[in-house]
Amino acid sequence: MKNDQLSRRNFIGQTGKAGLAVGLSATVLPSIISCNAPKVLASNVSPTHYTQQPLPYSYNALEPSIDALTMEIHYSKHAASYTKNLAEATAAEGVNTNSTSLENLLANISKYSVKMRNNAGGHYNHELFWKTMSPKSDSKPEGSLMDAIQKSFGSYEAFITQFSDAGKNRFGSGWAWLILTPDKQLKIGSTPNQDNPLMDISELKGFPVLGLDVWEHAYYLKYQNKRPDYITNWWNVVNWKFISDRYDTAMK
């Protein structure tokens, strides 16, 4: 199905027909992207809502790794502002949020304003971030994800070190990522600010499997300038069940 060459305008007009042809439901992420966008979207992973979703646990649920006050400010102030500003940007720039998925918007982000880039990225990144943490964290991934991690990085311990280093060494604010590349390989990297691997302007391109927020607002109240300590403790609340399911779905 050669939909790569569709323009964004054609995409909006033709997605409905294409969806019927391949039997996709209204909640399935469109896999049709512009010719300049990275071919990294997992068509069978549910799209991200443009609205902020409820936090899946209480503010104090991730203590002591992440303190309640940091979580409250992070979710209700920082992340909420990205959602609000994203709504303003989509309205101002004529984006139909009913027919254009957030993932598709990110894949074509070079066509939009800096405000759209920063806030679409910030909203998407945080909506994923909340889900990748849980007060009932498994110590390690299992199944196909663990197999892929061991194959890609040599061992689970080597993966932890490499991913942690990506977060520690990101200069200034940004994110560390575990991504699935277009050829279905795992790769670790980082992006600045609120950029992410779905964006056509990103040097790191792929489907985000796991993301770690290393902006100071994610950890400064508890850890001050000790980002490495925050990252070390963050592994205690990683929701490997969610991440493994996300990986398995993206691989189908």
Domain boundaries defined on the chain: 68-131, 143-251
Give the sign of the dihedral formed by CA 9, CA 45, CA 54, CA 222: negative
Q: Show Cβ contacts of residue 201 under 8 Å, excluding neighbours closer than 6 positions.
A: 109, 110, 117, 195
DSSP, residue by residue, 135-162: SS--SS--HHHHHHHHHHHSSHHHHHHH
Single pTM value for the model? 0.84
pLDDT in tens, 49-77: 999 999 999 999 999 999 999 999 999 99
Instruction: Pick the closest to residue 60 from 225, 240, 222 (CA basis).
Output: 222
pLDDT at residue 16, as a whole number? 38
Is the pLDDT at 37 greater than 90? The verdict is no
Assess if CATH 1.10.287.990 describes domain 68-131: yes
Tell me if residue 12 falls in helix, strand or coil. Answer: helix
Q: Angle at the Cα of 9 (from 98 to 97), degrees rounded to 5? A: 15
- Distance (Å) of CA 180 to CA 32, 198, 247, 249: 18, 11, 8, 12
pLDDT in tens, 202-250: 999 999 999 999 999 999 999 999 999 999 999 999 999 999 999 999 9
Measured between alpha carbons, how far is 135 from 119 in angstroms, rounded to an integer?
Answer: 27
- Distance (Å) of CA 61 to CA 71, 226, 238: 9, 22, 13
pLDDT in tens, 87-130: 999 999 999 999 999 999 999 999 999 999 999 999 999 999 99
CATH superfamily, domain at 143-251:
Iron/manganese superoxide dismutase, C-terminal domain (3.55.40.20)
Tell me if residue 9 falls in helix, strand or coil. Answer: helix
Instruction: Pick the closest to residue 210 from 127, 130, 126, 132 (CA basis).
Output: 132
Give the sign of the dihedral formed by CA 160, CA 165, CA 166, CA 170: positive
